């Protein structure tokens, strides 16, 4: 053997293939990584052995290295197919037996090559050609040689089709990535054509060079875009099947991609690709307005009214930045949070509402009263409080049962809710005690309202299980004055008026005066 300068690139390619094979094997749980690793090993074996072959001077040594080469040569087309299937997510369409069948022709090829001297099916005649740049093997091709190369042609062509179909079916965002893989699958054609037709090549085999180049391009696409972690077909599938709506915009805020969930959420019948997002979403002005100011990563929660129904969405805005932190596009994520919003509202309602009567509960009453009191004191607004309870409520429970008592409270709650203003707050404070906050109303108007509520209760007896239960209420009214320092003062004033009404015979309204005494019973 001698050192052949032309073998040096082959050794470099072989070393690079070994590095790529080892690196890819570390990603063997990802689709296509294991198959690529084995393909790179086969290419490394082919390249290194061919480098040693063209460095040999006699036929016996050349045939020895050629036998080593064929272990890689025969396996490459089967591994090429397996890699393309795994990468394009078509591998699961084939059983283990079907995948194993891809190696039938390679096994026959290796067996026939090792026993070629018995039958000549691979090479009918072998000799050294001394007329080129250096001595190389030359041979007369046998019938199985053409079967093997036909298999190579079929494998490369099938892989080309798989990558091309994947490119056509993929979203535009991923086509550049897949184009690299398609290019890598086309490169072997150059080596194959040159090898089969040998145009002025001095019987040299250029397949190791082009196969190594093909593997390098595969690795570039895989590692550059980190597609071993998530290949484009999986990304595309994830993009379409995500429960989140996804819009991808270019720097000019035109829609360049949109998944089915987003179209459903936004009520779009067509993809709207290429259109201005603000124009497409003009029917939802709150969102369209936000699109004009996507300068950072943030999220909002927006309400969307659609044909009488209300939906809530969390919307995330994600600017995409490339080199020098220049914005290259935007991602908008939409997630339907209607159920969560409704659950939160329900929890809020449960936390602030009296379940029995539908009125507010004591906690909400105290919080609201404190806010209204501070607001009234700050802006010198009027504020009046009404306290009441049901006359002889214990007697109703004892005579008709607790269900009748509960029904009575519900009945009074409905009467009040139908007669109070939207700004008024009626709350059940406990037992049969009810408080009513009346903002921005003077004491005279509050007394008139209390009298009308009292009369409404008296005029509408409770009809419970065929029993008519007469019900009356006693009420105390207190207005906020300058002498009152806080919440306790107005509550105490209203309570004193309530007890005055009860002491005077019940079914009455008493009003607390500025000096603490009560005036007038009605």
Cα–Cα dist 432/492, whole Å: 18
Cα–Cα dist 300/290, whole Å: 9
Strands (E), 399-447: 425-430, 433-439
Farthest-apart Cα atoms in the chain, separation: 133
Q: Give the active site residue among 354, 389, 391, 432.
A: 432
Residue 472's nearest CA partner among 411, 429, 427 is: 411
Helix (H, G, I), strand (E, B), or coil: what is residue 433? strand
Cα–Cα dist 470/393, whole Å: 11
Strand pairing of 473-479 and 509-512?
parallel
Q: Using alpha carbons only, how large is the chain's radius of gyration in Å?
A: 43
Residue-level length of the chain = 522
Q: What angle do CA 399, 405, 410 make, to 5 degrees?
A: 150
Cα–Cα dist 427/438, whole Å: 12
Cα–Cα dist 80/158, whole Å: 9
Q: Tokens 């209204």, residue?
A: 372
Cα–Cα dist 296/299, whole Å: 10
Active site residue 432: yes
Q: What angle do CA 501, 503, 505 make, to 5 degrees?
A: 75
Active-site residue list: 432
């Amino acid at each position: 053997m001698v050192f052949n300068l032309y073998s040096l690139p082959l050794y470099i390619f072989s070393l690079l293939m070994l590095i790529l094979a080892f690196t890819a094997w570390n990603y063997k749980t990802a689709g296509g990584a294991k198959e690529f690793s084995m393909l790179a090993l086969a290419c490394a074996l082919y390249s290194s052995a061919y480098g040693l072959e063209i460095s040999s001077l006699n036929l016996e040594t050349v045939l020895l290295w050629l036998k080593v080469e064929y272990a890689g040569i025969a396996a490459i087309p089967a591994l090429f197919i397996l890699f393309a299937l795994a990468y394009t997510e078509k591998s699961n369409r084939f059983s283990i037996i079907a995948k194993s069948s891809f190696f039938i022709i390679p096994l026959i090829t290796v067996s026939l090559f090792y026993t070629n001297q018995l039958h000549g099916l691979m090479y009918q005649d072998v000799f050294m050609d001394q007329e080129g740049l250096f001595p190389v093997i030359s041979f007369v091709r046998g019938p199985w040689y053409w079967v093997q190369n036909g298999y190579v042609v079929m494998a490369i062509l099938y892989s080309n089709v798989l990558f091309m179909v994947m490119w056509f079916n993929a979203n535009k965002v991923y086509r550049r990535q897949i184009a690299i893989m398609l290019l890598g699958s086309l490169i072997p054609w150059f080596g194959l054509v040159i090898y089969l037709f040998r145009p002025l090549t001095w019987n040299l085999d250029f397949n190791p060079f082009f196969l190594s180049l093909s593997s390098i391009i595969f690795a570039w696409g895989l590692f550059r875009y980190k597609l071993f972690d998530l290949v484009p077909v999986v990304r595309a599938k994830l993009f379409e099947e995500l429960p989140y709506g996804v819009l991808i915009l270019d720097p000019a805020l035109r829609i360049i991609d949109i998944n089915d969930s987003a179209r459903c959420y936004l009520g779009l019948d067509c993809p709207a690709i290429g259109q201005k997002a603000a124009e497409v979403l003009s029917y939802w002005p709150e969102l369209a307005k936000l699109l004009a100011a996507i300068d950072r990563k943030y999220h909002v929660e927006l309400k969307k009214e659609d044909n009488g129904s209300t939906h809530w969405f969390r919307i995330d805005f994600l600017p995409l930045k490339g080199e020098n932190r220049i914005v290259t596009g935007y991602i908008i994520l939409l997630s339907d949070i209607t159920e969560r919003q409704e659950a939160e509202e329900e929890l809020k309602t449960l936390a602030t509402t009296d379940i029995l009567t539908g009125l507010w509960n004591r906690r909400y009453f105290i919080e609201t009263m404190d806010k209204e009191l501070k607001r009234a004191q700050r802006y010198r607004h009027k504020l009046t409080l009404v306290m009441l309870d049901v006359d002889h409520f214990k007697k109703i429970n004892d005579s008709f049962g607790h269900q009748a008592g509960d029904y009575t409270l519900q009945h009074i709650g409905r009467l009040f809710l139908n007669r109070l203003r939207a700004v008024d707050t009626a709350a059940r404070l406990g037992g049969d005690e009810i408080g009513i906050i009346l903002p921005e109303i003077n004491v005279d108007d509050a007394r008139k309202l209390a009298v009308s509520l009292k009369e409404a209760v008296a005029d509408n007896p409770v009809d419970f299980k065929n029993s008519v239960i007469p019900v009356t209420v006693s009420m105390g009214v207190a207005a906020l004055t300058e002498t009152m320092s806080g919440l306790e003062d107005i509550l105490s004033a209203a309570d004193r008026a309530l007890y005055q009404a009860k002491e005077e015979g019940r079914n009455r309204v008493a009003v607390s005066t500025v000096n603490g005494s009560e005036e007038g019973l009605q």
